Structures are given as C-alpha cells and as structure tokens.
C-alpha cells in the first residue's frame, strides 16, 4: 500500500494525544503517538555523510533513497493510506528538510497553547507524582543547579524551558512553521476542546480526507503508552472518554517569577492574527 505522510507538531500538553485518538477513528488515517521516525531519519542522515561512497560522490542517490524509505518501513504494519506522524521537532530548519524527503507535499498540523498553561499542566502532574516524575528525576540526575537555590516548582519550570530541551526545540519548530504557511494548519488547544466539530472538520479538509463523522463520546486511545514506566506520571497521556477542558489557572499554580519570565515566550513565533489570541 502506498502511504501519504503528514505531520503533527507544535507544543507538548496541547491535546495532541486526544487529536491522534480522534483522527484514528477515520478509516483512512493512522495518527501516531510521539514516534521515533524523525530521530531515526535524523541519525541515519547524519551518519550517511561520513560513509565512504557518500563522501566520494558515489551512489549518493542510494543514500537519500534509504533515508526516504524509512517512513514506509517504519509504518509497514499499518494498513491505512494516510499517516500522521507526531513529533514536536518536525519543523526545525534541519528537520524540515527531512520532512520534505518523507513527503515533498506534506501537511503539518501545528498545535498551540499558551506557554503558562503548558507549564502549569506539567507542574500539577509533577506535584501529583513527586520524585518519580521524569522532571524531578532528570533534574537530580543532571544536577540541574537551579534546584539548589530555587523553589522546586520554579526549578521544574526552568528545567522544562532549558535550551535544547523538548519545549525549546518545539519552540524552534513553531517559529520555523511561520515560513511555510501553505504547509501548516494551526490548532489551538482551546478550539480542540471547545469547538471540536469545526476543528476536526478543518483538519480533515486540510489533509484532504474524505468526509467522516467523528465521535466525541467514548474516545479511545488506540496507542496507550506506559507513562508510569517511561515518564513516572501514570496519567501523562490519558485520554478522557469525553472531551473536557482542564481548568488550570497559571496564577494559581505558577510563581510570579515563572509567570514574568515566560509569559511572553510565544511572542513573535506565530502569525500575527494567531498571536492576538494569546
């Protein structure tokens, strides 16, 4: 089966797991959890440049063919023609070129949410799972120095926002998305929750999917992850059977230090009309 590859990217804690669960209801679509495809393509593409044939200019096309075939190999077991691969770093400058190798005409769903809501979501989960959550474990393993003189929640936020961390790389991807207006479709977390029918309709239209009536009751995550084992947070990617917004007021969760430091993080990263919503 010939597969068409599209992407899901943007920021974490934006409803991406929920969106994948909804899209997977469509008979022609498989939407992944955060996958390893991009990392595999990245590592192979980097390593190829060190190989003898590539350096000598021989069979260069063969090397590129190998990288481009990874998508089909990775999803060979999926019997659906449209693949939506999720990774929050797909649209960084380097990874954008890999996306073009995967599908020169790819479409990317870009998920957005105010950064303080994202941090609040992580902090609430970390408080519910103290010491076992991946944030605390990594802070201790890497001896993240902020923990020695900052409140723990402040240190957690600084760690999440550290240079080249997941959120920072996702921000680079988000910033780069502005340059490819024809390839991207922005989805706000608030719209996914509060205007779900219209949001799914627009996404389906963007991906050129056939008309389909999505069910918003008894939603099922077709690819549940072992969150407790990998992240130390059992409910990190839990999808509720019915869509309901988590009411998180950042002012009730985050310190004034964090709010002032990160409140303008998304400034300049979105098209002007969208940025006004933040």
pLDDT tens, position by position, 35-77: 999 999 999 988 887 777 777 766 667 777 888 899 999 999 9
Specify burial of residue 200 (Cβ count, 10 A radius: 0-12, 13-18, 19+).
buried
| Nearest-angstrom CA–CA distance, 108 and 7 | 4
pLDDT of residue 97: 93
Which residues on adjacent β-strands are paired with residue 29? 82
Q: Name the residue among 190, 176, 239 with its Cα closest to residue 7.
A: 176
pLDDT of residue 19: 96
Is residue 246 over pLDDT 80? Answer: no
Percent of the chain with pLDDT over 70: 97
| Nearest-angstrom CA–CA distance, 154 and 131 | 15
33 in Cβ contact with 19 (< 8 Å):
no
Q: Give me the CATH number covering residue 107.
A: 3.40.50.300
Is residue 191 over pLDDT 90? Answer: yes
Biggest distance spanned by C-alpha atoms of the chain:
61
Q: What does the block give as tokens for 12? A: 């974490």
Average pLDDT over residues 162-176: 95
CA–CA distances in Å: residue 91 to residues 9, 117, 148, 198: 8, 22, 35, 25
The mean-pLDDT minimum among 80-89, 114-123, 219-228 falls in 219-228
Is residue 104 over pLDDT 70? Answer: yes
The domain total for the chain is 1
Most confident of 107-116, 134-143, 210-219: 107-116
Average pLDDT over residues 78-98: 96
Average pLDDT over residues 153-160: 95
| Nearest-angstrom CA–CA distance, 148 and 221 | 39
Using 50, 70 and 90 to split pLDDT, how confident is the model at 87?
very high
Using 50, 70 and 90 to split pLDDT, how confident is the model at 140?
confident
Q: CA angle, 145 as apex, 142 and 140 as ends, to 5°?
A: 35
Average pLDDT over residues 6-18: 96
Range of the domain at 216: 4-275
Specify burial of residue 209 (Cβ count, 10 A radius: 0-12, 13-18, 19+).
middle
């Amino acid at each position: 089966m010939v597969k068409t590859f599209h992407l899901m990217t943007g920021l974490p804690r934006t409803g991406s797991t929920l969106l994948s669960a909804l899209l997977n209801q469509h008979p022609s679509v498989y939407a992944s959890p955060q996958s390893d495809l991009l990392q595999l393509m990245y590592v192979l593409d980097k390593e190829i440049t060190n190989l003898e044939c590539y350096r000598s200019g021989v069979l260069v096309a063969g090397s590129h063919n190998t990288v481009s075939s990874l998508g089909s190999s990775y999803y060979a077991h999926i019997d659906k023609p449209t693949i939506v691969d999720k990774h929050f770093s797909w649209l960084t400058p380097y990874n954008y070129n890999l996306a073009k190798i995967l599908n020169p005409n790819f479409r990317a769903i870009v998920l957005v949410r105010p950064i303080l809501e994202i941090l609040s979501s992580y902090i609430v989960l970390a408080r519910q799972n103290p010491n076992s959550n991946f944030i605390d474990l990594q802070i201790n393993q890497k001896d993240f120095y902020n923990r020695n003189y900052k409140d723990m929640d402040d240190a957690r936020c600084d760690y999440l926002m550290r240079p080249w961390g997941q959120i920072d790389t996702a921000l680079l991807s988000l910033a780069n998305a502005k340059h490819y207006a024809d390839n991207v479709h922005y989805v706000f977390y608030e719209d996914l929750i509060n205007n779900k029918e219209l949001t799914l309709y627009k996404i389906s239209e963007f991906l050129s999917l056939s008309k389909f009536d999505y069910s918003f009751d008894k939603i099922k995550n077709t690819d549940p992850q072992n969150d407790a084992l990998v992240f130390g947070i059992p409910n990190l990617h839990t999808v509720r059977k019915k869509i309901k917004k988590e009411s998180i007021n950042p002012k009730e969760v985050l310190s004034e230090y964090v709010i002032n430091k990160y409140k303008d993080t998304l400034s300049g990263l979105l098209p002007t009309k969208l940025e006004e919503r933040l």
